[in-house]
Every structure is written in structure tokens, then in C-alpha cells.
Amino acid sequence: MTDLAAFAREKGIKYFMISFTDLFGGQRAKLVPAQAIADMAADGAGFAGFATWLDMTPAHPDMLAIPDAEAVIQMPWKPEVAWLPANLVMEDQPVAQGPRNVLRKQIDAAAQAGLRVKTGIEAEFFLLTPEGDRISDPFDTAAKPCYDQQAVMRRYDVVAEICDYMLDLGWNPYQTDHEDANGQFEMNWGFADALVTADRHSFFKFMVKSVAEKHGLRATFMPKPVEGLTGNGCHVHISVWDSDGKTNAFSDSSRELGLSDQGRTFLGGIMKHAEALAAITNPTVNSYKRINAPRTVSGATWAPNTVTWTGNNRTHMVRVPGPGRFELRLPDGAANPYLLQAVIIAAGLSGMHHKADPGPRYDIDMYAEGHTVKDAPRLPLNLLDAIRAFDADGELKSMLGDSFAASYIKLKGQEWNSFVSHFSNWEREHTLDI
């Protein structure tokens, strides 16, 4: 196990940032001097849970964030600080609603079945002005800006700095591009075990925002920050391996698309629970402006609105781009990095347990011919529909943890109520003279 005090001496660390992610994906932290890290590593940093987006009251006892020393990351842009993801504990018991705890529970469930889930994500974000009200690059105006080499080079200083840091961290980044919306970028790095991917995803969002601020910009992973443009997805590539992590249990060259029977049933679980899954993969009011969007300026939303799967075809909720893995295209940039991985594993394990059939494979262009698919469920139209679908899915709630599910539904319900009680300019513009 990593000795954090020794790590600090070796790396020149002055401070550790003990960090956890709350139910809404907010990253919370305490800055701890290196000389105090030994005590914090043993006992945890104390937090008042009610002060974050967790289902607690001011009367709850101290919540302790116990750092995972094996996951420590020295911050490349501020190397005297190290970031430490933490597991939440209260009165010597894991906090059931803590997102990292929820994921660890699913990883343990997969391990009991002799399986290791490995994932990679495609993280998309916009670079905006500091006020967040417009795209930062005034020359980024093309109708089809995807892969625009001039536009990516105008933001070279930002994206190259981030990529350099990922190289230094050993994440194996392999491509960066200007995405389908003006001002939008995507960065990809190597796949890994689900917890490693979740920690890196969480740190990546922190790093991108920090580097953008350093350059006088504002980065956002908001699902649909600019009306009429393609939104921020967070596509997840999923494979399941034997416990040794060396044999891909999803791969079978003799089966359709190279996806094994186990892989098909895991996919079947994703399809079965898709409507409920959306409450976690698409967790904000704004999320449903991405998956239910009209055609964008570029000509496509690149987001699903129907529960369908296919081969190498990006117009469906799930595509199988090659043997032994599949891509879930439903999640967006607001997804909690830990809950995203957890709900995928839970749904997949449910499918394997029930030998779920993923249903028919469609090879059509869903954007042009989706209206011809009559028997596939539609994804929720808004956050309230998604919350209700999740609440109605007793099995998925049980697998994730009934205590977690109750807290998540409660807080997300409050978020929806806050939204619908808000008076918008649209209402005034369209109903003031009635």
C-alpha cells in the first residue's frame, strides 16, 4: 500500500487534496498539509454531509472521507499538490449513498461472478468565455466544425497542455479533436478497470476546468450548453473480462458481431433497464435537451432517443463497433463519474443473471428511419420521467442499494421541483398577453 507521507517526501508534495464526489457530481475537497496526511490517511478528513448534495441533515454526525492511497494523482499543473479520491464513512460504516461506495459495491458483485468490468469514456466539453455566455473562439463558426484543424489549433495551448498532463500521468491518451459543435472538443485516453476509469474521469473534469481557467476560459461539460448545437455526450465503451483481466469474456468470433453470449446478456440488461438508467446517465433537466433535441446546425444530434442497438452505426443508443465490446451512447457530460460506471455494471449483471435478450438489432439510420421502429421503448422525455422510471425499477434500485436509490430519487425530485417552480422568460414572452 502506498505510504502517503513517503510519497510526499519523494514527489515534493506540500498538500494533499482529499476529494469526494456527491450525488449531483459536485467535487468536494479539503486541502491537507503533507505533514498531517498520516493521520488523515488513517482517520479520514471530516465533512458535514448536509453542506453538500447528499441526503443528510445538519444533525448527522461527522462524515469522514478516507483517502484511497493507491489512487493518488500528483497534479501536473500544480505538482506540489496531490489529489486523493476518497471513500465516505460515517460511524465506522460506509455511507451507502456515497457514489464511490456505490461503484465499489458493483465491482465487488462482478468479482463474485468472476468478472472484471473495463471501460473507457469519450469526454466532450465546450470552451466558453469566462462568463459562460458564448463560445470563446469568435472564428469557430463553421456549419460542420467537426475535426476542423484550424479550430483545434486555435485552442492548441489548452488541449495540448491537458494531453501532455495525461501523457505524464500514464493514461495513454490517443486522440484529441474538435467535435461536432462550435467550441466543442473531445479527448480520449486508454480504457481501464471501472474504478480507475471513474477516478480518472473525475480528475479529468477537474483538470480541464482548471487548465481552461488558467488560460482565461471556462470549460463546461453541461449536456446542452448552446441551443441549436450538438450537446456534450460521454460515451462509454464497455467490455467484461475474466477475473485475471486478461481474457475478454465478451469476445467470441463465432457469434454475431463477435459478441459472446455473456456479452449479449450484459447488453440485454442495459436494454432492459435503459429507461431507468437514464436518471443516472442523464441526470439533469438540461440532459433531455440533448437526447430529445431537434436536428442541430451540423445536421445531427449524435444522441439517441430510442432504446435500440446496432453494429457499427452511431445513430443508436448502443453500437457494437468491434468484437468483444460495445459503446453506450446515452450518457452525457453531467453524468456522475462513479454512478455512471455503477449503473452500467448493475444493469449488465442483472442482464447476465436473467439471461436477458437485447432484442432485435437494427441497422437503419435512426435519425432518418427511426419512425419505422414501432416496438422499441422511447427514452424519457424529461428528468421527471426518468426519475419515475428509475423509481419503478425495483431490481435496479436494489442492486445499487435501496438507501442510495431513495436518497437519489429524493434529491433529484427536489431538483425537478425547483426547476418547475422557476418562471422563465419563455413563459413571459408567450403568455403575458393572454
pLDDT tens profile 246-258: 999 999 999 999 9
91 domain residue, yes or no: no
For residue 233, give the 3-state DSSP assignment: strand
285 domain residue, yes or no: yes
Terminal-residue alpha carbon distance, the chain = 68
Kindly give the pairing relationship between strand 184-188 and strand 115-128.
Answer: antiparallel
In the structure, what pLDDT confidence band is assigned to residue 317 with cuts at 50, 70 and 90?
very high
Residue ranges in 224-324 assigned as alpha helix (H):
261-272, 274-281, 288-291
Task: Rounding to the nearest 10 degrees, give the CA dihedral for residues 310, 316, 319, 321.
Answer: 90
386, 396 Cβ separation under 8 angstroms: no
Can you tell me which residue has the cell 462524515? Answer: 63
275 domain residue, yes or no: yes
Same domain for 378 and 243: yes
Kindly report the CA angle at 386 between 380 and 388, in degrees rounded to 5? 120
96, 336 Cβ separation under 8 angstroms: no
- pLDDT score of 419: 97
Kindly give the pairing relationship between strand 115-128 and strand 15-21.
Answer: unpaired
430 domain residue, yes or no: no
For the chain, what is the domain count? 2
Structure confidence by residue, pLDDT tens digits, 416-429: 999 999 999 999 99
Structural domain for 59, as ranges: 4-86
Q: What is the mean pLDDT of residues 366-377?
A: 94
Neighbouring CB atoms inside 10 A of 341's CB total: 30
Q: What is the mean pLDDT of residues 228-242?
A: 97
3-state helix, strand, coil in the chain (%, to 5): 40, 20, 40
- pLDDT score of 85: 98
Instruction: Give, in order, the Cα–Cα distances in Å from 379 to each of 121, 231, 288, 293, 306.
Output: 21, 17, 9, 12, 5
Give me the phi and psi of 153, to 5 degrees please.
Answer: -75, -25
Same domain for 234 and 299: yes
434 domain residue, yes or no: no
160, 208 Cβ separation under 8 angstroms: no
Give me the phi and psi of 17, to 5 degrees please.
Answer: -100, 105
Same domain for 71 and 111: no
- pLDDT score of 109: 98
Over the Cα atoms of the chain, what is R_g?
22
Which letter, b or e, does each residue of 167-204 get, where b requires 16 or more Cβ atoms within 10 Å of its Cβ? eebebebeebbbbbbbbbbbbbbebbbbbbbbbbbbbb
Same domain for 238 and 154: yes
Name the average pLDDT for the chain.
97
Same domain for 126 and 71: no
Same domain for 162 and 18: no
**End position of a domain, from candidates 56, 86, 116:** 86
Rounded Cα distance, 316 and 330, in Å: 9
In the structure, what pLDDT confidence band is assigned to residue 326 with cuts at 50, 70 and 90?
very high
CATH of the domain at 401: 3.30.590.10
- pLDDT score of 372: 95
Q: What is the mean pLDDT of residues 315-340?
A: 97
Same domain for 194 and 64: no
DSSP track, 61-90: --EEEEE-GGG-EE-TTSTTEEEEEEEEEE
Same domain for 110 and 60: no
Q: Residue 187: which of 213, 209, 160, 206 has the closest Cα?
A: 160
351 domain residue, yes or no: yes
Structure confidence by residue, pLDDT tens digits, 22-66: 999 999 999 999 999 999 999 999 999 999 999 999 999 999 999
- pLDDT score of 1: 72
- pLDDT above 90 (res 365): yes
Structure confidence by residue, pLDDT tens digits, 186-222: 999 999 999 999 999 999 999 999 999 999 999 999 9
Can you tell me which residue has the cell 464526489? Answer: 21
306 domain residue, yes or no: yes
In the structure, what pLDDT confidence band is assigned to residue 126 with cuts at 50, 70 and 90?
very high
Residue ranges in 309-379 assigned as alpha helix (H):
337-354, 366-369
- pLDDT score of 349: 98
Same domain for 213 and 173: yes
In the structure, what pLDDT confidence band is assigned to residue 336 with cuts at 50, 70 and 90?
very high
Same domain for 358 and 231: yes
Rounded Cα distance, 333 and 341, in Å: 13
CATH of the domain at 44: 3.10.20.70
Same domain for 222 and 78: no
Residue ranges in 261-307 assigned as alpha helix (H):
261-272, 274-281, 288-291
In the structure, what pLDDT confidence band is assigned to residue 135 with cuts at 50, 70 and 90?
very high
Same domain for 121 and 241: yes
Rounded Cα distance, 411 and 380, in Å: 18
98 domain residue, yes or no: no
Per cent of the chain over pLDDT 70 is: 100
In the structure, what pLDDT confidence band is assigned to residue 294 with cuts at 50, 70 and 90?
confident
